[in-house]
């Protein structure tokens, strides 16, 4: 139980015994419980082959990898890429296939930052900066465990297509690309990768909004989801339906911002249209983690 | 990460990397997600001051105690009572107070049995039999962390009233009562304690029914809940509303057995009447754990 007792005695934190790993797991659970999150599985809605309980099992299964991400191993900190791969492998032990790949891509460096007392934009930027080629290898290996929706890479980057999984490793090594480099290359079309290149700007901003909000944490997270979606087109929607649809989806989210009742209708509409703003759900989980670490009540 | 890799390589288990602790935590999550479970918080219903997310946080917080329950500590197995107390302390780090006390009372010995390869009625009876007075002390200390609804003890057992918490410890020591003895004394009016005295008879029978059933695991657990409630009056309902009401509640559950749509109406009725068959929910969580260990699909 690494991280146990990490908080100083007498800490005013409402969950003094909960470690960064506990909070990461709870963030995954609160994200899927928060409702409505239009277009995503939530407490009130399943997709056809992707059920609420798949996310519960994914969160529990991911835990062993999140433990590795703390860097509290006995023989020096385990590689961040290995932690990520282990978390995805554990997550995939349920019948819904990919439930939380993007969430984990955000949570793994955030957990490392929190467990080493630097959960801030500059602290997590440090974590990103020190990633290695081996971390990039772990990232590519993670694609062997689940199907992830991604865009086609540009022709010159075909050898680095993540869908190649472990087959892309020789190209990674030849070009000497760290995980930070890989994220930089993907940042344009993938807002999870973009977080890696900006000190997790949107994650921290959304966490602040959640902390400043009031009411049950799941309502706060549902409002944060709408704000994030209104702010920028969801990159998973763009991959699956094109940029125009992604922009239209953000405008529709903007129209119901702050109004969870109106968002219920939007949730039904997105479900009927097969619109799944999954990247925005990933960012919501990351924001939940930061908010939990900073003491949001549950 | 105790228990990691416990399953033999090549195991046909659908979740080869999930440990008994993972399954215990997932059992807590699946229990609260299963719906309808008339009178209890579930995926579709909250109580006034007890919300779905309190159960999610309770499940995560309980984990450190469940790890202790595996008995994989470096200095010999930790006392089962200490594991229970730690799990309740962790569970209580949310604003809903008592979410899963009864579930944990059942899960702790089941996790010990599973982690030592004897998850069977005789195996868990062994675990119960070897409990000590120190285990009973841990059990009483757990009552310091949350409010638990219990019946008044008989006059001659007043010194052992669990609501005394740690103040009852001298009486425990003086009478040399093990945790198994304490459960024996409580078995008459508390069906969780009764499981401890019967080799977890109803838990294993319900797990078999869940394994033999079909469909999503949360529907199977909702049906198992109705069966358990129909079978025997819920002892928490008896404490809170008397034996007659508890018997009537079971008859009403019997009338909708196997019919989750009809059970939706019963869920609304029980909520309006303030009827909370919490012991039956505890047994459902315990059955979920056994079913998960035995490979029920998720």
Task: Report the CATH number that the domain containing residue B145 is assigned in CATH.
Answer: 1.10.4200
Asked if residue B59 is part of any domain, the answer here is yes
Please answer yes or no on whether B61 and A14 come within 8 Å at the CB atom.
no
A211 shares contact with chain B (CB less than 8 Å): no
Q: Which of A233, A239, A226 is nearest to A267 (CA)?
A: A226
Please answer yes or no on whether B43 and A63 come within 8 Å at the CB atom.
no
- Give me the pLDDT at residue B9, please: 54
Q: Which two tokens stand for residue B21?
A: 């602790």
A31 shares contact with chain B (CB less than 8 Å): no
> Closest to A95 (Cβ–Cβ): which among B17, B64, B298?
B298
Q: Torsion angle, CA of A12/A17/A22/A26, rounded to 10 degrees?
A: -60
Q: Which domain holds residue A176?
A: 20-219+281-293
Q: Which of A102, A105, A103, A121 is nearest to A113 (CA)?
A: A121
- Give me the pLDDT at residue A277, please: 98
Distance (Å, whole) CA B186 – CA B192: 9
Contacts of B90 in chain A (CB under 8 A): 17-18
Place of tokens 């994914």: A58
B26 shares contact with chain A (CB less than 8 Å): yes
Helix or strand (DSSP H, E) at A130: none
Q: Torsion angle, CA of B189/B193/B194/B199, rounded to 10 degrees?
A: 180
B50 shares contact with chain A (CB less than 8 Å): no
Q: Per-residue b/e over B62-91, b at no fewer than 16 CB within 10 Å?
A: bbbbbbbbbbbeeeebbbbbbbbbbbbbbb
Asked if residue A228 is part of any domain, the answer here is no
Q: Which of A174, A109, A173 is nearest to A137 (CA)?
A: A173
CA distance A291 to chain B (A): 14
Dihedral pair phi/psi, residue A72, rounded to 5°: -95, 20
Is A119 within 8 Å of A175 (Cβ atoms)? no
Asked if residue B194 is part of any domain, the answer here is yes
Is A31 within 8 Å of A290 (Cβ atoms)? no
Asked if residue A96 is part of any domain, the answer here is yes
Q: Mean pLDDT, to the nearest integer, of A272-294? A: 98
Q: Which of A60, A72, A92 to mutate to test the interface with B (most CBs of B within 10 A)?
A: A60
Asked if residue A260 is part of any domain, the answer here is no
- Give me the pLDDT at residue B71, please: 83
Q: Which of B182, B202, B196, B230 is nearest to B287 (CA)?
A: B202
Q: pLDDT tens across A49-83, in order?
A: 999 999 999 999 999 999 999 986 556 678 999 99
Distance (Å, whole) CA B189 – CA B197: 13
Q: Which of A17, A18, A23, A56 to mutate to test the interface with B (most CBs of B within 10 A)?
A: A56
Asked if residue B46 is part of any domain, the answer here is yes
Half-sphere exposure of A173 (CA within 13 A, CB side): 8
Q: Would you give the DSSP letter of residue A277?
A: -
A32 shares contact with chain B (CB less than 8 Å): no
pLDDT in tens, chain B (298 residues): 334 435 555 567 999 999 999 999 999 999 999 999 999 999 999 999 999 999 999 999 999 999 999 986 556 678 999 999 999 999 999 999 999 999 999 999 999 999 999 999 999 999 999 999 999 999 999 999 998 988 888 888 889 999 999 999 999 999 999 999 999 999 999 999 999 999 999 999 999 999 999 999 999 999 999 999 999 999 999 999 999 999 999 999 999 999 999 999 999 999 999 999 999 999 999 999 999 999 999 9
- Give me the pLDDT at residue B151, please: 85
Asked if residue A264 is part of any domain, the answer here is no
Q: How confident is the model at residue A157 (pLDDT cuts 50, 70, 90)?
A: confident
Domain count, chain B: 1
B64 shares contact with chain A (CB less than 8 Å): yes
Is A245 within 8 Å of A237 (Cβ atoms)? yes
Asked if residue B95 is part of any domain, the answer here is yes
- Give me the pLDDT at residue B75, please: 64
A254 shares contact with chain B (CB less than 8 Å): no
> Closest to A30 (Cβ–Cβ): which among B53, B93, B218?
B53
């Amino acid at each position: 139980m690494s991280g146990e007792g990490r908080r100083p005695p007498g800490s005013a934190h409402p969950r003094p015994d909960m470690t960064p790993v506990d909070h990461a797991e709870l963030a995954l659970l609160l994200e899927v419980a928060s409702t409505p999150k239009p277009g995503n599985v939530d407490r009130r809605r399943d997709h056809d082959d992707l059920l609420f309980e798949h996310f519960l099992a994914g969160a529990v299964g991911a835990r062993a990898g999140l433990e590795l991400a703390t860097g509290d191993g006995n023989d020096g900190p385990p590689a961040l890429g290995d932690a990520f791969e282990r978390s995805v492998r554990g997550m995939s032990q349920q019948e819904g296939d990919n439930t939380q790949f993007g969430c984990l891509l955000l949570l793994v460096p955030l957990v490392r930052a929190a467990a080493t007392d630097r959960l801030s934009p500059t602290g997590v930027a440090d974590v990103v900066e020190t990633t290695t080629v081996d971390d990039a290898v772990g990232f590519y290996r993670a694609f062997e465990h689940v199907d992830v929706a991604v865009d086609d890479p540009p022709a010159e980057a075909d050898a680095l297509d993540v869908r190649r999984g472990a087959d892309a490793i020789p190209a990674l090594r030849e070009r000497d690309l760290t995980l930070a480099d890989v994220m930089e290359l993907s940042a344009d079309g993938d807002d999870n990768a973009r977080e890696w290149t900006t000190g997790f700007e949107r994650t921290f901003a959304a966490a602040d909004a959640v902390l400043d909000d009031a009411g049950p944490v799941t309502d706060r997270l549902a409002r944060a989801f709408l704000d994030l979606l209104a702010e920028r087109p969801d990159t998973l929607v763009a991959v699956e339906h094109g940029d125009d649809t992604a922009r239209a989806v953000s405008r529709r989210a903007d129209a119901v911002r702050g109004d969870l009742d109106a968002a219920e209708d939007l949730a039904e509409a997105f479900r009927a249209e097969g619109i799944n703003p999954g990247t925005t759900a990933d960012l919501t989980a990351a924001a939940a983690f930061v908010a939990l670490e900073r003491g949001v009540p549950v």
